[in-house]
Structure 1
Amino acid sequence: MDVEALGGRVRAERRRRGLTLDALAGASGVSRSMLSEIERGGRMPTVLVLDRIATGLGTSIARLMQDERPVGTTVLRHHEQEVARDPAGWERRVLSPVLPGVEFEFMRTTLGAHVDAGVFLPHGAGSLEYIGIERGTLRLTLDDEPLELHAGDSASYAGDRRHAFANPGSEPCVYYLAMRL
């Protein structure tokens, strides 16, 4: 992932929404200095920080990672898909293109054995998330209520809740997440 391009997209989305760095810091819980460093292309945020920035902007990680594509048939070849890797041992692969006026994201996430991805901030009111487990075990926690999901299980929930993802198992967990903001 190109850190300078990412920084430019964060800055452009912040400005498009008429937010100052201070306002985005307040909305995202990410410090003003870190936001400034990310916007300048001087720092690659973790996946969790990137999600907090996207949530503070009312958008998706996908919109921050890739340029919009025209509406129509879009094919994202495997090598064209953006992947955010977190040093804690997990990754998110963005499977959906970014389209003008559409706030939707479809991702494939892999959590290594015993990896806790952390707590994600609530998205806006009316947002929805859908999850399907391909393999392994996922502990999905919604507002402090843990749910254990296994290969083949699926769930949906309001995205305006705090949500956390962890793999309590000794094998990798792979799941798909679709989000409508």
Structure 2
Amino acid sequence: MQEQIHKKIGKNLQDIRKSRSLSLDAVAELSGVSKGMLGQIERGESNPTISVLWKIVNGLRISFATLMEDASPQVSVVAMEETTPLVEEEGAYRAFPIFPFEQDRGFEVYSVLIEPGTSHQSEAHYEGVEEFIMVMDGELRVEVGGESYTLKPTLAMRFSADQPHTYTNDTDKTIRYVTLIHYPSANR
């Protein structure tokens, strides 16, 4: 059975308030909505008007939809073979979006396969973007900032991705690595 909207709003409001370590008094001060009304909303005892919701979202500086979204699952299990890869270099470079970008998280995670003898050049991302690479199988050569770095399974790398960078497999075996791309909060 689908949760009633006012109960969903109440739970989301309470989760946001607690995640920010705010008291009901603090949210009342930020939003102009009384502490009593906020408590009723959080407990699902009140079905707030749109104008009350606008006061809350403006006070907390969140989107209107944030109060009505379904909660994210506590556990997500992703099977790489069930994702559709981004394919480059005629299929020799495949990036599987394991955890695609979500606005509130600010990052995305890919599992990448590069076939032997393949090189893939990535354009510069916007300023402040960072990449984190962890090699799982094989030996990956990364060129960034005029330098070349060789990564094996015991090594990891972080770099500013706001410059062109290249991933190369100089070996005769497929490379598998995981990359996390972090986007700066100022741009979220």
TM-score normalised according to structure 2 size: 0.53
Q: How far, CA to CA, are the matches of 1:103 and 1:153 in structure 2? A: 24
Match of 1:93 in 2: 96
Q: How far, CA to CA, are the matches of 1:167 and 1:101 in structure 2? A: 34
Q: How far, CA to CA, are the matches of 2:148 and 2:173 in structure 1? A: 19
Corresponding residue to 2:154 among 152, 155, 162: 152
- Aligned pairs, how many? 112
Contact in 2 for aligned 1:121/1:162 (Cα 8 Å):
yes
Q: How far, CA to CA, are the matches of 1:168 and 1:76 in structure 2? A: 32
Match of 1:138 in 2: 140
Quote the offset at 1:140 in angstroms: 0.2
1:6-17 alignment to 2 at 5 Å?
none
1:86-125 alignment to 2 at 5 Å?
86=88, 87-117=90-120, 119-125=121-127
Change (3 A) 1:82 1:71: farther
Change (3 A) 1:94 1:168: same
Match of 1:77 in 2: 78
Q: How far, CA to CA, are the matches of 1:70 and 1:125 in structure 2? A: 32
Question: Percent same amino acid among aligned pairs?
Answer: 15
Contact in 1 for aligned 2:130/2:161 (Cα 8 Å):
yes
Change (3 A) 1:129 1:98: closer
Q: CA RMSD, aligned part only?
A: 2.1
SS at match of 1:133: strand
Change (3 A) 1:70 1:135: farther
Quote the offset at 1:138 in angstroms: 0.6
Residue identity opposite 1:83 in structure 2: P
Corresponding residue to 2:176 among 171, 174, 181: 174
Quote the offset at 1:88 in angstroms: 4.8
Quote the offset at 1:101 in angstroms: 4.1
TM-score normalised according to structure 1 size: 0.55
Quote the offset at 1:120 in angstroms: 1.2
Quote the offset at 1:75 in angstroms: 2.5
